[in-house]
Amino acid sequence: MTPAPTTPAPMTAAPTIPAHVSAARLGEEERLPQPATADIDLVTVLHALGDPVRMRLLLSYADGAEHSCAPRDLGLDHLHKSTVSHHMRVLREAGVTTTRVAGRNRFVSLRRTDLDARFPGLLDALLASAPAPAPAPAPAPGAGSGSGSGSD
């Protein structure tokens, strides 16, 4: 018996971005898919911000700067990297943030202009009512990063 000839698996088309999602290309950089400003939905935004971790991320992004995705840089080093990535994706897909891709790096920033245009006063109210982030705990006395010999 000769084995039946095998046929190669059919090629699947690259995933297409739905019409309601925009992805901007900026030379070598690009933005991950996100809803267009007109498609940002209030219920989706509020649902996304209903999680304490995502609210903490909103407070971090409120400074208007771009932030790396490293949990340590966001004060979330107690969470696994994939968990932080999930929370960032929820915020981006809700239209709260935008993510710029630069090579292997990702930089996240708040879509303040878009959110203010869509829901005037929402971000100001959320930021004003949110508790200030707790400062990072100080290291325990005697818990240095040196060799323990006391001489440097």
Among 122, 92, 130, 93, which residue's Cα sits nearest to residue 108?
92
d(CA 50, CA 39): 20
pLDDT in the model for residue 1 = 57
Sorted by where each begins, the domain ranges of the chain are: 31-128
Q: Give per-residue pLDDT as tens, 106-136.
A: 899 999 999 999 999 999 999 998 776 555 4
Q: Give per-residue pLDDT as tens, 50-100.
A: 999 999 999 999 998 998 888 888 888 898 888 888 999 999 999 999 999
Reported confidence tier of residue 15, pLDDT bands at 50, 70, 90: very low
Query: In angstroms, what CA-CA distances link 131 with 13, 52, 135, 151?
Result: 47, 11, 12, 41
pLDDT in the model for residue 13 = 42
Q: Is 27 exposed, middle or buried (0-12, 13-18, 19+ CB in 10 A)?
A: exposed
pLDDT in the model for residue 130 = 77
CATH of domain 31-128: 1.10.10.10
d(CA 89, CA 80): 15
Q: What is the dihedral of CA 131, 60, 21, 11, to 10 degrees?
A: -120
With vertex at residue 74, the alpha carbon angle to CA 73 and CA 76, rounded to the nearest 5 degrees, is 110
Report the SS3 class of residue 67. strand
Residue predicted with more confidence, 138 or 75: 75
Reported confidence tier of residue 7, pLDDT bands at 50, 70, 90: low
Among 35, 62, 92, which residue's Cα sits nearest to residue 100?
92
List, in sequence order, every residue forming a beta bridge with 67; answer none if it has no partner. Answer: 108
Structure letter (DSSP) for residue 39 = G
pTM: 0.67
